[in-house]
Structures are given as structure tokens and as C-alpha cells.
Amino acid sequence: MREISIKGGISLINGELIHEPVNINSGLFVGSSTENARTIDATNCFVLPGIVDVHGDAFERAIQPRANVDFPLHLALKDVDCQLIANGITTAYHGLTVSWEPGLRSYEAALAFKTQLKALRSSFACDMHLNIRWETFAMDYVEQMIEWIQDDPKSIFSLNDHTTIYVDLPKGSSKISRMAGRSGLSEDDCLILIGEKWEQRHKVPAAIEAVCAGARAAGCAIFAHDELTPEMRAKHRALGVAVSEFPMTVETAKSAASKKEHVVLGAPNIVRGGSQNNAIDARESIEQEHCSVLASDYYYPAPLAAAFKLTDDGVLPLEKAWNLISKNAAAAANLSDRGQIRDGLRADVILVDKDTRSVRTVIVKGQLSYTFR
């Protein structure tokens, strides 16, 4: 199917919700249609750009739904593809951790996931890429990370430092317990391994500089995860890190926003009415213009629900709330070909029922990928 005309809906075009048809030809948005176009009835629907999810790690639960219970990657990814599309996510960045841990977040597990994703990508409806969450103490894999970025420059590269957070945690803490569950180690062995990695902390700055240089050379979007202070944001900025991903303090988010940098927070934070780990409040950050992008984080239905909750609560009109999960998200990921309904851009579009706020139809790159009645 090459030519489509979506009629009867309220379309988000040029920043406005208007009663205009949306036309598609050869996978791109176009200004008009011919009599040969297939008509899709969008009556009582919003016609919106497909959701761009810059950070989602719910795929981990598809791979390992219980501790030490693993499923084949091809089966897990097929299930994840269905979840993404049904929730209106047409471009997804899987938050794939590359750590010094054994088990689910090990380099070996990440490499297997990357290999399978590359091999199967063309079979999925959703356009899937990696948000490579490199643990900065995983210094043995600097060269490999640069190779991964060069292999797919559409990847997002994200600096993560959980080691510094873990180093003072006691046995029995929730983070250590979760690490033990996903790594297959005892909590005592986890603490020993953390201590061994901490002894290598003097090598971390050089490793970060090397990987960021490789990412800059490849034109890859570079994020920094869990930034603690404005000073840390400034340090990362000097390395070409343009996006603050889940900053831990209001001051850090404000520092990024003051430089017109994108700030990513979790859509579940909006849906649930606050952070699950006592981090900064996403709604307040949006109200104060310190957050420009919302990501699914750990729950794929959250971006869609968050945009409508912001609208229902009077925080933002829908056309601006939707930018948080489409236009702005695409810009943060360095994707200039999507995120808006505009002539010449990639035709990723979803129809959302005005009353139920459920996804009725999903079109990805001009191809009808999902229909629910």
C-alpha cells in the first residue's frame, strides 16, 4: 500500500490541531492525494505523529520475566514489537545496559541483544534502535562501544554511573537485591564486585572522554543519565553530551534547560503522579519548562497516557504535550526525518480515539501496521 489519505479526524499539523486530511505516498507525508489513495476513516479520532520513545527498558521483562528465567531473544523482541505498536510507539530506543555485571546486563548479554536486533530489525513494525546505556566503570569495553556506535549512528549513547551510587549501599538494600537477582550472584558477591570496580575509578574519566569522542565523530546523540549536579551537566556538556536523561535534581534540569538542551524524564512519573524512586517531579518540571521529552522508561503505555493526562489536568494543550513524545523526542535523538506530520517527513502516524484515548490505527513509514476496532 503506497498511497493513503486519512480523513475525518483532528490532525496535529504545524503545531495546530485542525480538521485536515493527512496524506501519505511512498512512505512520506505529502500535501495531497489522488483518486487511487486508500481512504482511512479517522472520524472521532486525533491523527498524531507516531511516538518516539528515546528510553525504554521494559524489554528486559520480556527477556527475563522472573529472576533467572530467560526467554529466547527473537521471541521476546517479537512480543515487545507488539507492545510498542499497540501503544502508538513507532520509533523505540531500547535502553540496553552494557555493564561490568554478569547476567542480564553483562556485555555478553548486550552483544547478543544487539546482534539479534540488527538481524531482525526489518521484520518489526516499530523502528527499533539502541539507547546504549554504557556503565562508565565498564572500561574494558570502550573500543566495542565505539564500534557499536559506528555500526548504527542512529543509536543513542548514554553515560551511566550506577557504581558510584552502589558503592555505599548495604547488603539487603533494594538495589543490591535487584542486582543479585539479575546477575545470578549472591548479595555478598555483588558487594565484593562493586568494591573491586570502585578501586578502578581513577581510569573512568579517560574512558568517558574516549567514548564521547567516538560518539561525536559518528554524529550519534549523546545522553547523560542520572546527572547529580549542574557542575556534572557542565562537565558532560564540554564532552558533547547534549541531553540530560533523568537528572536527579531540579537544579540540574534547570541548568540543562537554560542552555536549550533537552531534558528527558519518565512518562510513568506523570501517569502515577510522581517518581517511583523519589526523583524530581516530572509534572512540576514540565510546568517550569525544565523538561522537554518524556520516555516510557519501564512502561510502554505511559507516553500516550502521560500526554493526555497533562492535557486533562490543564498543564499543556494536547498539541504541546504531544511534542514531548514526538517532535522533541525525535530532535533529542538527532532524528530529523520524523516526529511531525509535515510534507517530506517519514509517515509515522497514529489514530487515537478522542473518547477512549486508545490507539485505533498505527501507520509506520506509510505501512498500515495496527488496526483495532
Q: pLDDT tens across 209-231, in order? A: 999 999 999 999 999 999 999 99
The pLDDT of residue 279: 76
For strands 243-245 and 221-225, give the pairing: parallel
Q: Are both 56 and 32 inside the same structural domain?
A: no
Q: Are both 40 and 120 inside the same structural domain?
A: no
DSSP 283-324: HHHHHTT---EEE-BT-TTHHHHHHHHHHHTTSS-HHHHHHT
Predicted model pTM: 0.93
Q: Are both 110 and 168 inside the same structural domain?
A: yes
> Per this entry, what is the length of the chain?
373
What is the average pLDDT across 80-105?
A: 95
Q: Are both 225 and 357 inside the same structural domain?
A: no
CATH value at residue 143: 3.20.20.140
Q: Are both 120 and 157 inside the same structural domain?
A: yes
What is the average pLDDT across 153-176?
A: 93
Tens-digit pLDDT profile for residues 113-143: 999 999 999 999 999 999 999 999 999 999 9
pLDDT bin (cut points 50, 70, 90) of residue 373 is low
Tens-digit pLDDT profile for residues 323-358: 999 999 999 999 999 999 999 999 999 999 999 999
Q: What angle do CA 158, 163, 168 make, to 5 degrees?
A: 145
Domain carrying residue 159: 51-337
In Å, how far are 160, 222, 286, 315 from 292, measured between CA atoms?
20, 16, 7, 13
Q: Are both 112 and 130 inside the same structural domain?
A: yes
In Å, how far are 72, 290, 296, 302, 346 from 307, measured between CA atoms?
33, 16, 12, 9, 22
Q: Are both 316 and 347 inside the same structural domain?
A: no
DSSP-derived 3-state class of residue 255: helix
Q: Are both 303 and 253 inside the same structural domain?
A: yes
Whole-number Å distance between alpha carbons of 373 and 368: 14
In Å, how far are 65, 307, 339, 370 from 335, measured between CA atoms?
32, 21, 8, 23
pLDDT bin (cut points 50, 70, 90) of residue 276 is low
Q: Is the pLDDT of residue 275 over 80?
A: no
The pLDDT of residue 66: 86
Q: Are both 356 and 253 inside the same structural domain?
A: no
pLDDT bin (cut points 50, 70, 90) of residue 1 is low
Q: Are both 246 and 309 inside the same structural domain?
A: yes
Q: Are both 92 and 182 inside the same structural domain?
A: yes
Phi/psi-derived region of residue 367, left when phi > 0, alpha when psi is between -120 and 50, beta in every other case: beta
Count of domains for the chain: 2
